[in-house]
Amino acid sequence: MRFRFEVLVSLKEGLLDPQGKTVQDALPTLGWPNVSDVRVGRRIELTVDAEDEATARAQVHDMAERFLSNPVIERYRILEVEGTGAT
């Protein structure tokens, strides 16, 4: 069965995020002065072919931990994309 997941990767709290700062600095000029704490991260979407959802999810955790994120400076969370459970 195929299961589709989203892995959301973000920098850990307290780490400098130059990309987020650049976005934030641009916002007042564009008419949005009321925005703060902008952080930019990655969103990876993928399909795993596995026996069942638990196996697929465990593999996604493994991939997120070892390949898709850098656990020293980043944290991740995994969402299952709706409507893919029964494919």
By CB under 8 A, name the binding residues for a copy of itself.
2, 4, 6, 8-10, 20, 23-24, 26-27, 30, 32, 34-50, 59, 63, 66-68
At its nearest, how many Å lie between a copy of itself and the CB of residue 72? 19
Q: 35-51 burial, b for 16+ CB within 10 Å, e for fewer?
A: eeeeeeeeebeeebebe
| CA atoms within a 13 Å half-sphere pointing along the CA-CB vector of 62 | 7
Closer residue to a copy of itself, CB minimum distance, 50 or 53: 50
**Cross-strand pairs, 5:** 46, 80
At its nearest, how many Å lie between a copy of itself and the CB of residue 46? 5
**Cross-strand pairs, 28:** none
Closer residue to a copy of itself, CB minimum distance, 66 or 72: 66
Closer residue to a copy of itself, CB minimum distance, 29 or 72: 29
